[in-house]
Structure 1
Amino acid sequence: MHHQHQHQVRRAPSDSFRSLRYDTQKRSYRFDNLSAIESEPPRGHRPGSFYGGNGRSTPVEEILRLPLTWWMNSTAKNHFVAMIGEFVGTTMFLFFAFAGTQVANVGAQDSTTTTNATNGFSPIVLLYTAVSFGFSLMVNVWIFFRISGGLFNPAVTLAMVLVRSLDYVRGSLLFIAQICGSLLASVLVRALFPTQLNVRTTLSADTSRVRGVFIEAILTAELVFTIFMLAKEKHRATYMAPIGIGMALFIAELVGVYYTGGSLNPARSFGPCAVTGVWDSEHYVYWVGPAIGALIAVVFYKFIKILEYEIANPGQDADGEDEGVSPPVSRDGWRKKDEEA
C-alpha cells in the first residue's frame, strides 16, 4: 500500500485531444498518448482545476494538443517545436534589425551594404544600426529562449553542439531554421519598405579579407563566450542573460559595422545576398570568421571549466556570505577529490 501511494497518479478530465497526468513522485505533469479516463469529480471540485484521489483540486492550466501531432513521439515533436521557435525567432530578430538598418540608410539609396562604403562614415548611422541589432537580439532571445534556446545564429549553434548543449540532430535542424528565417526576414524587409535592401555585409575599402576574417572571429568569440557564461552557465542572474547577450552584440556592432558590416552570423549575411542576388567575392568571410570565433570561445570555455573557474571566486553569484561555491582544499593547496573513496 505504501508503494502504491508513492506512485499515485492524478488523472485529469480530457477529451480525445487532451491527456495530462500528474505524477506525485516526479512532481510533474506528463502526457499520455491515450485519452485519460474521465471520472466523476469529487464534491467541492472547482471548475478549471484538476483533482486527485485526496479530493483536493490542483489548479493547472488546461493544455490542448493538436490532433496532427499524435503521430510524433516526444523527441520528434520537441525537434519540430524547436525548429518553429528558431525559425520565427530568427525571422523576428533579423526583421527588426534589418528594418532598423534600412531606416538608418534612408539617405543612402546608392549603397547596398551596411558599411555604407560609397557614402562615407556616419557615427549616427553606425550607432542606429548597432542599437537595432543589439536591442532586437535582446528582446527576441528573451521571448524565444524557452522554446528553442533563442540562438538565431549558426555560429552559436555550432558552439553549442561542440560543448554538447545540443546534439547534432537538433543543431542541424536549428541551422536550417535559421537560414530560412534569414531569407524570410530579408524578403519581408525588401517587400515592405520602398527603398532597396541596404543590409548586405561587405568589407570596407581599407579592410583586407584576412583582416575581415579576424575581425569577425574576435567579435563572434565575444558574443559566443557571453552566451556561455550568462545563459549556459546557470547562476542567479540567468534570467537576465538576454540583456547581456544583446549588449554584447551591440558593442560588437559598434566596432564591426564600418569595417565588415558587423555580421557575426552567417545566416545574417546569407539572407540579404540570396534575396538581392548579389554575391560578393568576400562572402566566405562571414562564414569562416564566425566559425573561427565560435571555436575560440569553445576552447577558452572548456579551458576554464577544466581549471574549475567556479572556485577561483567563490560566492560570486550569492546573496549572502554563506551561499555560493566554497573551494575545499587540502594543506598542499590542491582540491580534495574522492578522499573517502
Structure 2
Amino acid sequence: MTSNGEEIEEEEISRIEKGQAKNCHGGIETVICTSPSIVCLTQKLIAEMIGTYFVIFSGCGVVVVNVLYGGTVTFPGVCVTWGLIVMVMIYSTGHISGAHFNPAVTLTFAIFRRFPWYQVPLYVGAQLAGSLLASLTIRLMFKVTPEAYFGTTPTDSAARALVAEIIISFLLMFVISGVSTDSRAIGELAGIAVGMTIMLNVFVAGPISGASMNPARSLGPAIVMGVYKDIWVYIVGPISGVMAGGFVYNFIRFTDKPLRELTKSASFLRSISPKQ
C-alpha cells in the first residue's frame, strides 16, 4: 500500500520524465518544459558528451600513462584499452543516444537517413565538448611532456597517415553499419564488434597515424595542447573513410534485397503448389 503523498510524488516524477512537470507559486503554474522531445534530446546530448568524454579520457589517458611511466602499459595494452572503453560506453549509452562519439559517424548516419539532420550540429557539439573536457582533465592530471602528447600526428608523412585514416575509418563504419543498422545482424554484439574493430585498427595504424578514426578524438587534444600539425589529415581522412564505408555497406545491403524477395517468392510458390 502506498500513501496518497507517495502516489502524488510518483505522478510528479513521471511528468518530469515526460517533460511536463509544473511548479505552482501563488496559484500560478510555471511550466518547466512542455515538450517531451526537448527532454529526450537533452538526455541524448548529455549521454553523447559523457560517452565521448570517457572514451577520450581512457584512451588518451593510457597513452600518457604509458609514456610517463616507462612503457608499463605497452603498445598492446594501449590498443586493448581503446577497444574496451569504446565497447563499455556503447553498452552504457547506446540505448540512449546511439553511442556515436564521432562527428563523422553522426554525419554519415544523417546522409543515409538514419539520423535527423537538425540534430547533427547538436551531436557534434556534444562530442567536441566531451573531447575538450577529457583532454583538459588529462592535462590537469598529468605533467604532459612533448613526448607524451596524447593527440594524433603523422609519424612519417601526411599522405601515409591520410591513407591509413581513410582505410581504418572505412572499416569502422562498415562494421558499425553492419551491426547497428541491419535488422539481420545480432544487435547485442554491436558493442563487442565495434570495440574489437577499434582495437584492431589501433594495432595496425597506430604507429602510422595514431589511429584516430574520429575528428573529435584529434581536435580535443590539439586544441587543449596547442598542437595543430597536419590536423587536416584527421578531419578529411576519417570523414572520407566513414562515408565510404557507410556507402559500400548500404550498397551491398540494397543489392541483397531483390535476391531475398525472389527467395521468399520462390518459397511461397513451392508452399502453395499442389503436391504430385
Task: Specify if TM > 0.5.
Answer: yes
**Offset, 1:69:** 8.1
Are 1:73 and 2:35 an aligned pair? yes
Counterpart code for 1:147: I
Q: Which residue of 1 aligns with 2:273?
A: none
Aligned twin of 1:18: 13
What's the TM-score once normalised by structure 1's chain length? 0.67
Which residue does 1:150 correspond to in 2?
99
- The AA in structure 2 aligned to 1:201 is T
Greater shift in the superposed pair: 225-234 or 69-78: 69-78
Conserved 8 A contact 1:158-1:294: no
Deviation at 1:277, TM superposition (A): 1.2
SS at match of 1:218: helix
- Secondary structure at 1:18's aligned position in 2? helix
1:213 Cα deviation from its structure 2 partner: 1.6
1:138 to 87, 109, 118: 87
Shift of 1:236: 6.2
Is structure 2 residue 88 aligned with structure 1 residue 101?
no
Unaligned runs of 5+ in 1: 1-11, 21-29, 36-66, 109-121, 313-324, 337-341
Instruction: Give the match for residue 198 of structure 1.
Output: 149
1:289 aligned partner: 237
In the alignment, the residues of structure 1 paired with residue 201 and residue 30 of structure 2 have an alpha-carbon distance, to the nearest angstrom, of 43
Confirm or deny: 8 A CA contact 1:199 1:272 kept in the other structure: yes
Deviation at 1:93, TM superposition (A): 1.2
Would the aligned equivalents of 1:161 and 1:168 in 2 still touch at CA under 8 Å?
yes
* Residues 173 and 31 of structure 1: CA distance in aligned 2, closer, same or farther (over 3 Å): closer
Which residue among 266, 272, 289 is the counterpart of 2:221? Answer: 272
1:287-330 CA-partner distances (Å, limit 9, x unpaired): 00001111111211221122126956xxxxxxxxxxxx992245
What corresponds to 1:300 in structure 2? 248
Aligned residue for 1:308, secondary structure, equals helix
Say if 2:189 is the partner of 1:218.
no
Equivalents in 2 of 1:69, 1:252: separation in Å?
49
Could you tell me how far apart the structure 2 residues matched to 1:32 and 1:274 are?
36
Residues 95/69 of structure 1: CA separation in 2 closer, same or farther (3 Å cut): farther
Letter in 1 for 2:263: P
Between Structure 1 and Structure 2, the one with more helix by share is: 2
Identity %: 27
Alignment partners' CA distance in 1, 2:206 and 2:7? 56
The number of equivalent residue pairs is 253
C-alpha displacement of 1:79 = 1.5
Flag the 1:92–1:310 CA change in 2: closer, same or farther, 3 A: farther
Instruction: Please give the secondary structure, in 2, of the residue aligned with 1:147.
Output: helix
- Which deviates further from its counterpart, 144-153 or 293-302? 293-302
1:267 Cα deviation from its structure 2 partner: 0.4
Alignment partners' CA distance in 1, 2:53 and 2:150: 15
Q: Tell me, yes or no, if structure 1 residue 125 matches structure 2 residue 74.
A: yes
Structure 1: distance between partners of 2:112 and 2:161: 26
Decide whether the 8 Å contact of 2:179 with 2:185 is kept in 1. no
Give the direction of change, closer, same or farther, for the CA distance of 1:171–1:18 in structure 2 (3 Å limit). same
Give the Cα separation in 2 of the matches to 1:223 and 1:239: 17
Q: Which 5+ residue runs of structure 2 have no aligned equivalent?
A: 1-5, 23-28, 270-276
1:33 correspondence with 2:20: yes
TM-superposed deviation, 1:147? 1.3
State the one-letter code of the partner of 1:288: V
The 5-angstrom pairing of residues 240-279 of structure 1 reads 240-279=189-228
Contact 1:156/1:294 (<8 A) preserved: yes
Over aligned residue pairs, what C-alpha RMSD do you find?
Answer: 3.0
SS of the residue corresponding to residue 86 of structure 2 reads: helix
Deviation at 1:235, TM superposition (A): 4.3
Equivalences for 1:56-67 in 2 at 5 Å? none
Which of 1 and 2 has greater Rg? 1
Conserved in 1, the CA contact under 8 Å of 2:62 and 2:81? yes
- Per the TM alignment, residue 264 of structure 1 is displaced from its structure 2 partner at its CA by 0.5
TM-score normalized by the length of structure 2: 0.82
In 1, Cα distance between equivalents of 2:19 and 2:74 = 54
The question of whether the paired residues in 2 share the 8 Å contact of 1:79 and 1:173 is answered with no
CA contact (8 A) 1:101 1:128 kept: no
Question: Could you list the per-position Cα deviations for residues 3-43 of structure 1 after superposition, in whole angstroms to 9, with x for gaps in the alignment?
Answer: xxxxxxxxx943473346xxxxxxxxx958378xxxxxxxx
Q: Which residue number in structure 2 is paired with residue 116 of structure 1? A: none
**Alpha-carbon shift at residue 135 of structure 1 (Å):** 0.9
SS at match of 2:96: coil
- Contact (CA 8 Å) 1:182, 1:267: kept in 2 or not? yes
Picking from 249, 252, 264, the partner of 1:328 is: 264
User: Matched residues in 1 for 2:51 and 2:234: separation?
Assistant: 21
Q: Which has the higher contact order (CA 8 A, sep 6+)?
A: 2
More moved, 127-136 vs 87-96: 127-136
